[in-house]
């Protein structure tokens, strides 16, 4: 009977040992899988961080372009306003070159100097149109340059 008990205990011991061995191997495999998953996640996180850094660099470039646009437009607007004040207070004049049409003296002949350039002054109402046109040109030029710079940043065409 003692031998049967010994054999039964040996079987139980072997079964327990087999279970622990199987559980240990399973735990080792799970740890390996977790390490692999962790490494994959770390690589993905690095990729995401690199993309965020790239986005931040582009955002900084776009912000810089926007600030440059604002500054350039402010300088051009100030110059336009200075010109308006200068003309308004009489310090300078807004003159345009005019070429008068041919003056008929008699028949088809022209008087000497009929096509010489002369100067004329814009009427006050026309001055306002001139200022508006000048400001519109300034706005359009700076907006176009800003769009070109922005497109270069977005498309990665610049080396800044």
Which residues, listed in sequence order, are joined to residue 98 by a DSSP beta bridge? 118
Residue 113 domain-assigned (yes or no): yes
Residue 90 lies in a domain: yes
pLDDT of 102 reads: 58
Per the structure, the complete domain to which residue 87 belongs is given by 2-155
The helix/strand/coil state of 57 is: helix
Residue 40 counted as domain residue: yes
Q: Please give the model's pTM, rounded to 2 decimal places.
A: 0.49
What are the tens digits of pLDDT across the range 54-96? Answer: 888 888 888 888 898 899 989 999 998 998 898 888 888 777 7
Q: How far is C-alpha 92 from the geometric centre of its chain's CA atoms?
A: 40
Q: Is residue 117 part of a domain?
A: yes
**φ and ψ of 159, to 5 deg:** -110, 20
Per-residue pLDDT tens listing for the chain (160 residues):
788 888 888 888 888 888 889 988 999 999 999 999 999 999 999 999 988 888 888 888 888 888 988 999 899 999 989 988 988 888 887 777 666 655 555 555 455 544 455 667 777 778 888 888 889 998 999 899 888 888 888 777 765 4
Q: Is residue 160 part of a domain?
A: no
The tally of domains found in the chain comes to 1
Residue 70, in any domain of the structure: yes
pLDDT score recorded for residue 115: 47
Strand boundaries in 43-109, DSSP class E: 95-98
Confirm whether 143 is domain-assigned. Answer: yes
**Any domain includes 20:** yes
Query: With 0-12 CB in 10 A as exposed, 13-18 as middle and 19+ as buried, what is 58?
Result: middle
């Amino acid at each position: 009977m003692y031998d049967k008990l010994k054999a039964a205990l040996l079987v139980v011991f072997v079964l327990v040992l087999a279970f622990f061995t199987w559980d240990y191997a399973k735990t080792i495999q799970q740890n390996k899988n977790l390490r692999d998953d962790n490494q994959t996640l770390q690589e993905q996180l690095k990729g995401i961080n690199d993309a965020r850094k790239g986005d931040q660099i582009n955002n900084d470039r776009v912000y810089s372009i926007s600030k440059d646009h604002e500054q350039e437009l402010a300088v051009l607007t100030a110059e336009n306003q200075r010109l308006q004040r200068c003309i308004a207070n009489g310090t300078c004049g807004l003159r345009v070159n005019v070429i008068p049409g041919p003056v008929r003296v008699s028949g088809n002949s022209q008087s000497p100097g009929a096509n010489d350039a002369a100067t004329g002054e814009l009427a006050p109402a026309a001055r306002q149109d001139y200022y508006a046109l000048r400001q519109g040109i300034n706005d359009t030029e700076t907006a176009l340059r800003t769009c070109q710079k922005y497109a270069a940043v977005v498309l990665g065409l610049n080396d800044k």
